[in-house]
Amino acid sequence: MSPTHVFLVGFMGAGKSTVAALVAERTGLPCVDLDQLIEQTAGTTIAEIFSASGEDAFRAMETEALARISAGPPAIVACGGGVVVRPENRRLLREGGFVVYLQVSAGEALARVGDTGTRPLLSGPAGATAATALLSAREGLYTSVSDVVIDTCGRSAEIIAEEVVQSLKGAGLL
């Protein structure tokens, strides 16, 4: 494989973490989950970071972690759903490697994530409305950074991972 990062972006519930692990298995590259890296570095959960410090503090940590990953060896990277919100992150993604947008509908995303207690932006009774609004606001940002868009609705992680691998081959990266 050509030395580059493969960033998986998309809304929560799109399957980024699961698909990243499968793509890493198939390519032999390490898998990095950006949200897990942030939690390990902070020593707490993302929900607790949001609660104690707010979204801006979390987004700053996310940018720092993304910059660290981008400067490191090539990897398959599962990004958090909101990584595209900050312009600096969008620049890091575009300049740092090949970006795959795993597209999902708000309804399917909610069905996949189930309990929204660990999803700070969806907590509360208006979770479905919030999900639809968030996805709508981010859709253009996801597509603006992506090299390829893969629809994940109604598809297994294995099939999606294979499509990612085929996209990498098509781009001459495998």
DSSP string across 98-147: EEEEEE--HHHHHHHH--GGG-GGG-STTHHHHHHHHHHHHHHHHHHH-S
Instruction: State percent of the chain over pLDDT 70.
Output: 89
Question: What is the average pLDDT value for the chain, to the nearest integer?
Answer: 89
Domain boundaries, the chain: 5-170
Taking residues 131-152, report their average pLDDT: 90
Taking residues 108-137, report their average pLDDT: 65
Q: What is the pLDDT of residue 142?
A: 95
Question: Under a CB-based contact definition with an 8 Å cutoff, are residues 34 and 62 in contact?
Answer: yes
pLDDT, one tens digit per residue, over 9-27 is 999 889 999 999 999 999 9
Q: What is the pLDDT of residue 146?
A: 97
Is the pLDDT at 108 greater than 60? The verdict is yes
CATH superfamily of 5-170: P-loop containing nucleotide triphosphate hydrolases (3.40.50.300)
What does each C-alpha distance from 101 to 48, 76, 124, 150 come to in angstroms?
Answer: 27, 13, 27, 6
What does each C-alpha distance from 95 to 4, 68, 80, 134, 135 come to in angstroms?
Answer: 10, 13, 18, 25, 24
The token pair at 134 is: 């968030």
Is the pLDDT at 40 greater than 70? The verdict is yes
Taking residues 102-107, report their average pLDDT: 85
Instruction: State percent of the chain over pLDDT 90.
Output: 71
Cα–Cα distance for residue pair 62/66, rounded to 1 Å: 6
**pTM attached to this predicted model:** 0.88
The token pair at 135 is: 């996805």
Is the pLDDT at 135 greater than 60? The verdict is yes
The token pair at 8 is: 């998986």
